[in-house]
Amino acid sequence: MIALLVRDLRLTFRAGGGFGLGLAFFLIVTVLVPFGVGPESALLARIAPGILWVGALLACLLSLDRIFQLDFEDGSLDILATAPIPMEGAVAMKALAHWLTTGLPLTLAAPLFGGLMSLPGQGYLWVFLTLLIGTPALSMIGTFGAALTVGLKRGGLLLSLLVLPLYIPTLLFGAETARRAIQGVDYAQTFAILAGVTAGSLALLPFAAAAAIRINLR
């Protein structure tokens, strides 16, 4: 399974692998929003956590359809399905590879890009922390969506439609936690729910995604 992770990481970093696409998109969003809403820094500071979260979520969405589609087209998925590693494990590794190449860079970049949005002082820490806890759920839910739509022609649109509603709890509680922490209000509850959504997705979705792939390979 480690071999699968290493291969996926290697493929992403090689030419044409798509690493940096999400990051560039995230940068564009955070650069453009201040132009769109105007230079008033009090307003920007108020919407900064939400914009950073929405930007990260959409950036995550960009690379989802690559998770299984390429492996499906070149026949690797058939071979993986007959290989001795369990499909659930393969799916979890795919999600981990997606997080390492998309979610983690976005999380690390968010505090940097926060400067463009006049993010308040303690906001840097909290946007970083909530993204760190929340983005694994985005990758796992996205992997599940990709598993459902693998093999469909033009499945990318369907994938986005399927995944976006599932992303809402993470977005809601992630951005809300950051906002509450910045305002100095009690954030323990929303933070716990954010972590709960991530833990639940990581525990359950590999099984659902593996089942979806088995059906799609028929």
Partner 1 sequence: MDLVVRDLTVARGGVPVLEHLDFTLGAGQVLVLRGPNGSGKTTLLRTLAGLQPPMAGEVGLPPEAIAYAAHADGLKAQLSVTENLAFWASVHGTRDIVPALKQMNLESLADRMAANLSAGQKRRLGLARLLVTGRPIWLLDEPTVSLDTASVALFAEAVGAHVAGGGAALIATHIDLGLEAEILDVTPFKADPSVVATGAGAFDEAFL
List contacts with partner 1 (CB under 8 A): 2-4, 7, 10-11, 14-17, 73-76, 78-85, 215, 217-218
What is the enclosing helix (H) or strand (E) of 44? helix 41-62
Whichever of 40 and 73 has its CB closer to partner 1, that residue is 73
Q: How far apart are CA 96 and CA 172, in angstroms?
A: 23
| Closer residue to partner 1, CB minimum distance, 2 or 42 | 2
Q: Which is nearer to partner 1, 13 or 40 (CB)?
A: 13
Q: CA 31 to CA 76: how far, in whole Å?
A: 39
Phi, psi of 15, rounded to the nearest 5 degrees: -55, 135
H-type helices in 83-154, by residue range?
Answer: 87-98, 104-114, 123-149
In angstroms, give the least distance from the CB of 96 to partner 1. 16
CB of 66 to partner 1, least distance (A): 13
Least distance to partner 1 from the beta carbon of 14, Å?
A: 4
* Residue 55: CB minimum distance to partner 1, A: 28
CB of 74 to partner 1, least distance (A): 6
Q: Considering the complex, what minimum distance in angstroms separates the CB of residue 10 from partner 1? A: 7
What DSSP letter does each residue of 146-199 carry, written as one string?
Answer: HHHHTT-TTHHHHHHHHHHHHHHHHHHHHHHHHHHHHHT---HHHHHHHHHHHH
Instruction: Measure CA 17 to chain center.
Output: 17
Beta carbons of 143 and 209 less than 8 angstroms apart: yes
The answer to whether the beta carbons of residues 155 and 142 sit under 8 Å apart is no
Q: Which is nearer to partner 1, 148 or 178 (CB)?
A: 148
Based on CB atoms, which residue is closest to partner 1, 98 or 180? 98
If the CB atoms of residues 9 and 129 are measured against partner 1, the closer one turns out to be 9
